[in-house]
């Protein structure tokens, strides 16, 4: 039984505050490790701070206790501060890097934690960043947007180079089967921890009531038009609206570029009154928000980014008690059986979306309740964080136990 050890999660992303998927996933990692009698800390290396938190839980609620907070606008000073914090941990500590688009930080992390201080280090592999960056570079030219063009090239270069130091890590935690089999890590120690949840999984029903005028479709999470394949999906809705009464609402963070693209598509497909961006919502309120819809969607296309990643939104969706429609990308087909615990179609097909949404609407009163119940059972069996507590703990700390 691995207990009494320390896990330190390090990132250039704030994993303590906000509503990001990264924060949610690392909260559940912390909960899993903490439940086995181990300590958890988070270090945030930002543009002007280096912050250390101790993570505790009370009544299942995360309690981040600020231990140290060093402010400095000088990059070199922050590196020395980070090294000082790393040195402060006992040798029976494992460090986990939660990577971001700032791939240069991977090198800082490896040098300070592994090379200088000789700690065990692990890597949270939830996407192949060079594929994500390639997706973002679509339609950006050196002539029209030179700054953006070179910024993307810079990020891509560091994303590629960061894979050359994978050999320095003691193991990888992957979120999907495709990442587990990613050629670059094929010879290294690794496990797969899928998308996770800790919701109280109780059956929730929502059927079309007599007073409903429209079939309500929902989406939550970071909104990226290209990644989420919203052009194809909205095109399909423009056809469905001629047959059925529908509404589509989107909640989550969206940057200015994607908001402009969304407005363009709403006008292009004559969906101004039927498609609405409703802003961001607190993570604690997501599950209740989802219950107001009839159908939740993940319309992602068949891109390399999507095939290697795995949308964490699916766990939230399946816990909501509302049927979910997904495309057959990444690991979705491992968990979704069409018309049994959700709906699944091949990606990138306007016709497939039209046919499936129409079918869902027409058969809703007959099938929705049973599908939602099966989805809850799948989520409890496949995504509940407690199912992976022992696996994750042993993976991170087993060598310490063997040395006792």
Collect all residues with Cβ–Cβ distance below 8 Å to 208 and sequence separation of at least 6.
Answer: 215, 294, 364, 365
d(CA 171, CA 174): 10
Pairwise CA distance, residues 17 & 52, whole Å: 13
- pLDDT per residue rounded down to tens, the chain (404 residues): 567 999 999 999 999 988 889 999 999 999 999 999 999 999 999 999 999 999 998 877 788 999 999 999 999 999 999 999 999 999 889 999 999 888 899 999 999 999 999 999 999 999 988 887 766 655 666 777 776 777 777 788 888 889 999 999 999 999 999 999 999 999 999 999 999 998 765 544 444 444 466 899 999 999 999 999 999 999 999 999 999 999 999 999 999 999 999 999 999 999 999 999 999 998 888 888 999 999 999 999 999 999 999 999 999 999 998 999 999 999 999 999 999 999 999 999 999 999 999 999 999 999 999 999 999 999 999 999 999 999 999 999 986 555 54
Nearest CA to 297 among 314, 276, 281? 314
CB atoms within 10 A of CB 98: 20
Q: Measure the CA–CA gap between 3 and 327, rounded to whole angstroms.
A: 40
pLDDT of residue 2: 64
The 10 Å CB-count burial string (b at 16+, else e) for 143-174 is: eeeeeeeeebeebbebbeebbeebebbbbbbb
What fold is seen in the domain 215-382?
Answer: Rossmann fold (3.40.50)
Please check whether residue 282 is in contact with residue 310, taking contact to mean a CB–CB distance below 8 angstroms: no
The full set of domain ranges for the chain reads: 6-197+384-402, 215-382
Write out pLDDT tens, residues 247-300.
999 999 999 999 999 999 999 999 999 999 999 998 888 888 999 999 999 999
Smallest CA-to-CA distance from 276 within 246, 245, 242, 244 is with 246
Q: Which residues lie below 8 Å from residue 341, measured CB to CB, with a gap of 6+?
A: 318, 335, 371, 374, 375, 377, 378
The CATH class of the 6-197+384-402 domain is alpha beta
């Amino acid at each position: 039984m691995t207990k009494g050890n320390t896990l330190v999660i390090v990132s250039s992303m704030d994993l303590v505050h906000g509503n990001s998927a990264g924060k949610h996933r690392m909260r559940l990692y912390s909960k899993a490790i903490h439940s086995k009698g181990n300590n958890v800390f988070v270090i945030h290396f930002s543009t002007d701070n280096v912050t250390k938190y101790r993570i505790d839980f009370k009544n299942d609620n995360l309690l981040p206790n600020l231990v140290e907070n060093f402010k400095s606008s000088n990059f070199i000073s922050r590196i020395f501060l980070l090294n000082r914090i790393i040195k402060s941990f006992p040798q029976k500590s494992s460090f986990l890097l939660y990577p971001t688009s700032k791939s240069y930080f991977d090198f800082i992390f490896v040098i300070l934690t592994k090379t200088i201080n000789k700690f065990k280090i692990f890597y949270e592999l939830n996407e192949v960043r060079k594929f994500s960056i390639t997706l973002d570079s679509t339609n950006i030219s050196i002539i029209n947007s030179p700054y953006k063009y070179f910024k993307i090239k810079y990020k891509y270069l560091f994303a590629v180079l960061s894979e050359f130091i994978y050999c320095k890590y003691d193991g990888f935690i992957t979120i999907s089967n495709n990442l587990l089999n990613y050629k670059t890590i094929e010879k290294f120690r690794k496990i797969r921890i899928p998308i996770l949840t800790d919701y109280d999984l109780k059956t929730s029903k929502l059927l079309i009531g007599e007073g409903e005028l429209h079939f309500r479709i929902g989406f939550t999470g970071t909104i990226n038009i290209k990644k989420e394949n919203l052009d194809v999906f909205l095109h399909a809705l423009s056809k469905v609206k001629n047959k059925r009464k529908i509404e589509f609402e989107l909640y989550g963070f969206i940057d200015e570029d994607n908001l402009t693209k969304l407005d363009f598509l709403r006008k292009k497909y004559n969906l101004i009154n039927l498609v609405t961006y409703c802003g961001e919502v607190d993570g604690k309120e997501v599950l209740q928000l989802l219950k107001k819809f009839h159908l939740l969607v993940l319309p992602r296309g068949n891109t390399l980014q999507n095939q290697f990643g795995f949308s964490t939104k699916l766990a939230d969706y399946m816990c909501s008690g509302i049927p979910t429609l997904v495309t057959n990308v990444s690991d979705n087909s491992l968990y979704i059986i069409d018309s049994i615990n959700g709906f699944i179609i091949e990606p990138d097909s306007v016709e497939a979306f039209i046919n499936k949404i129409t079918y869902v609407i027409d058969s809703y009163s007959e099938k929705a309740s049973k599908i939602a119940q099966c989805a809850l059972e799948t989520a409890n069996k496949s995504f509940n964080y407690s199912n992976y507590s022992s696996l994750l703990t042993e993976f991170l700390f087993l060598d310490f136990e063997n040395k006792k």
